[in-house]
Amino acid sequence: MSQQPEQFQNDPMVPPELNNNLFITTLDKLYNWGRKRSMWPMMFGLACCAIEMICVAASRYDLARFGAELMRPSPRQSDLMIVSGTVTKKMVPTIVRLYNQMPEPKYVLSMGACATGGGPFKEGYNVVSGIDKFLPVDVYVPGCPPKPEALLHGFLKLFEKIESQSIRTVPWYRKGEIEAIPVPVLGPDLIDLRRAVEIKEYTQTQVNAAPAPAAEPAHS
């Protein structure tokens, strides 16, 4: 064939019968191509958006075209967490725990307004203002709920992100442990343990100051 790369012609490493069958690429490209075309999402629905997520996996929108139809019920087997719906305070410890259980490389796609910033329910007393308060989010998909096409677009954006990563710099091949995110605790309200000291300082100032009725729960 005429398009055969010239450099193989006299290459002592390449036997003549393989001349037509060689491609040259970078390790990064091969690695990322493999990863992005076999993205296994976790089977994990939270709210309304989960229904659209199921529709994306069904025949009409057919997520299988992008190699991501294999939803895994176990976080140990998943690459991608689609946070599909409202994140509530009661649920967020579970979500963080599941995220910690996922092996690297792992990605988070925040689907819909609620997962992104609390959405229409942001003011609610049991609602977390977006999953990015706890997890690092890779792709945000707007919408309430996003149409299936929008979720597919989110997948494509995630693939773009994967393509831009390099095996030399990705954190999961570097030395040292990747630290787990501390699981939030359900106390009188949701306690983000990373901010425990800050919260303690604040509640102490409340004691010292005059009783602040606005922040104090009215009933026991």
Partner 1 sequence: MAGKVAAPVAELTGPLAVLKEKFSEALSPGEFEGAVIKNENLVEVAKFMRDDLGYDYLSSVTGVDYPAANEVEVVYHAYSARHGLHNGKPLVFKARAPRDNSVVPSLVSVWPGADFQEREAWDLMGIKFEGHPNLRRILMWEGFAGHPLRKDWHEAYFEQDNKPFDSRWPGGHHTRAEDRVPLADNVAFPPGFDPTDFNSQAETTLVERARSVDVSELGQLVSSDGNGSGSGNGHIADAIQTDHLIVNLGPQHPSTHGVFRMVITLEGETILKLEPVMGYLHRNHEKIGERNTFIQNMPFTDRLDYIASMSNNLGYALAVEKLMKVTPPERAEYIRILMVELTRICNHMWAIGFLLNDLGAFFTPALYAIEERELVLDLFEAASGSRMMCNYMRFGGVARDLPEGWIEKCRDLVFNRLPKATDDLDHFLSENEIIRARCEGVGNLTAEQAVAYSAAGPLLRASGVPYDVRRAEPYSIYDRFDFDVAVRYHGDVYDRYLIRLDEIRQSIRILQQALDQMPGGGEIQAGKKQYQTRVPAGQAYGRVDGPKGELGFYVVSDGNPNPYRYHIRAPSFINLTALGEMCKGQKIADVVIILGSIDIVLGETDR
Residue 15 contacts partner 1 per CB under 8 A: no
Nearer to partner 1, 64 or 167 (CB): 64
Residue 214 Cβ vs partner 1, minimum distance, rounded to whole Å:
7
Given 32, 36, 41, 52, the residue binding partner 1 (CB under 8 A)? 52
Nearer to partner 1, 27 or 185 (CB): 185
Contacts of 38 (CB under 8 A, 6+ apart): 67, 68, 70, 79
Residue 58 contacts partner 1 per CB under 8 A: yes
Residue 42 Cβ vs partner 1, minimum distance, rounded to whole Å:
8
State how far the Cα of 89 lies from the Cα of 92, in Å rounded to an integer: 5
State how far the Cα of 8 lies from the Cα of 2, in Å rounded to an integer: 12
Residue 78 contacts partner 1 per CB under 8 A: no
Closest CA relative to residue 118, chosen from 161, 104, 196, 126: 126
State how far the Cα of 129 lies from the Cα of 117, in Å rounded to an integer: 5
From 4-12, 18-26, 166-174, 199-207, give the range in contact with partner 1 by CB under 8 A: 199-207
Q: What Rg do the C-alpha atoms of the chain give, in angstroms? A: 23
Closest CA relative to residue 77, chosen from 56, 62, 98: 98
Of residues 88-147, which lie at the interface with partner 1 (CB under 8 A)?
Answer: 88, 90-91, 94-95, 98, 118, 120-129, 133, 144-145, 147
State how far the Cα of 108 lies from the Cα of 148, in Å rounded to an integer: 17
Q: Which parts of this chain interact with partner 1 (CB under 8 A)?
A: 43-48, 50-52, 54-55, 58-60, 73, 85-86, 88, 90-91, 94-95, 98, 118, 120-129, 133, 144-145, 147, 185-193, 195-200, 202-204, 206-207, 211-212, 214-220
